[in-house]
Chain A
Amino acid sequence: MATSITLRLESPEATAALGRRLGEAARPGDVVTLGGSLGAGKTTLTQAIGQGLGVPPTCYITSPTFSLLHEYPGRLPLYHLDLYRLGSEEELAELGVEDWLYGEGMAVIEWPDRLGSMLPAERLHIELRLESATARTVTVTAFGSAWEERLAQLSDQPPAFSCQQDQDGGAG
């Protein structure tokens, strides 16, 4: 069972506001998975999550595609993973991915499908879709009861979601 909401974010600023709100509300061990094609705004969203978590502005949140994982200091640590280049679950196990999934910080994971059976049951999934050069459709899905409650709170915060909201509850 999963609950999701779909938002249309008209500008990069609206996407950033969503990210900051997530970062501000982050708790230790949180897992946020990101989906969407190249250029859909996964990096921008992660940078905003980092802002919300209090990652210092001098600490650039750069693409982890090349180095797989970046860790940033904040109110909680931010672990930014890009699993695109991984092939199998054994590779993930050897890399010790679980240390970051259940660590003290918030894990933001691109290409989460690579996790296979290691994909946490409790997580928030954000799917970004490119609508135009600046607008995005964002579907936020809560997996697990804790995230379902928090999703309701998140969507009650108009500043983060200043744009049109479509309730799409009970999906999945």
Chain B
Amino acid sequence: MLILGIESSCDETAAAVLANGERLLADVINSQVPVHSRYGGVVPELASRKHLENIQPVVTEALRRSGITLDDLDGVAVTRGPGLIGSLLVGFSFAKAIAIVKNLPCAGVDHMAGHLLSVFLGDAKPEFPYVALIASGGHSSIFRVEDPYTFRLLGRTRDDAAGEAFDKVAKLLRLPYPGGPEIGRRAEGGDPRAIDFPRSWLEPGSFDFSFSGIKTAVATFVQQREQRGEPLPLADLCASFQEAVIEILAEKALLAAGESGCPRVVLAGGVAANCRLREYLAARGSEEGVQVFVPPVEFCTDNGAMIALAGTHLLRAGRTLGLDADVYSRFQLG
């Protein structure tokens, strides 16, 4: 079963070909980060324009690398939402057109479902059910994944996403975009206990997140230092901020695993590429008797392979899209 997966919900235009839900034949990503770095974020109009320019070459390249043509495909999978409508529509319309012309079934994949299942693209695969933590620029959520189609939302952010907090703090510190990797790098030489930034745990038993307070705490710290004319301890600042965010993400995920009775935590989303988060979660997981699974780094950020994978499950179950199906911008899984 050869499935073409297409993703265009935000920064990346991506396409992948997956055989039988397990063997990846090609995975092509055309990132828009250099276009966006000038603005310090994703510019929606630029994003959809770039997706339009990229979509055809990216899909063609994925087929070429797989050594196949459209005629060899058994189905098409495409991200339907959540994301930027203009961007989603580029991939979605392209996929529908291929499906109509080649008379193939088409599956509409929720972007979050793609992330939640992306761990299966690596070698270490968890059993169902498991608890998954998705942390990225647009999302911070904890799900319980029952099977490849059933996702139960346990908690989500009440204000900023974790990746957004990284990006905004990086901006506050005048570091380049994307801010997450930059803060991770600067944190390496710093002391994570140097500055005691507040951890927002919210009310007991809640798996929700709140990252807007820590952003304010960093802003206040920077303002005070600048008013006193003191230099910023950049490495310590980055390390302390990063530690505070990571501690909350990891501890809440472990708590959710404990409470929902499945001692397996899967990490996903762009923030999962953060080395300190992986390290922290692995160490605390082994203390708590929780197995931790992390997808290979290339599948943490947006990619076509995870969409092909989630789509393969949907197509096997006969869950295909009608011609009149549309994209959606807001979160709706779980």
Contacts and interface: CB of A to CB of B under 8 A. Distances in A.
A68 B216 contact: no
B29 interface: no
A48 interface: no
A161 interface: no
A170 B39 CA distance: 36
B217 interface: yes
Nearest to A132: B220
Given A86-B43, A86-B45, A43 B220 contact: no
A39 B159 CA distance: 12
Given A37-B219, A39-B219, A133-B216, A87 B159 contact: no
A62 B41 contact: no
B159 A43 contact: yes
B51 interface: no
Given A39-B172, A63-B160, A85 B216 contact: no
Interface in A43-101: 43-44, 47, 60-63, 65-68, 70, 84-87, 90-91, 94-95
A130 B46 contact: no
A60 B210 CA distance: 11
B258 interface: no
A94 B45 contact: yes
Contacts of B82: 67
A23 interface: no
A16 to B, nearest CB: 13
A91 B42 CA distance: 13
Q: Which 7 A-B pairs have the closest CB atoms?
A: A39-B219, A39-B216, A66-B138, A91-B45, A85-B41, A63-B160, A60-B158
A136 to B, nearest CB: 10
Contact of B220 (A47, A65, A94, A130): A130
B158 A66 contact: no
B164 interface: yes
Contact of A65 (B41, B46, B83): B41
A91 to B, nearest CB: 4
The interface centre, meaning the residue of A85, A90, A130, A132 with most chain B CB atoms within 10 A of its CB, is A85
Nearest to A63: B160
A93 B152 CA distance: 38
Contacts of B56: none
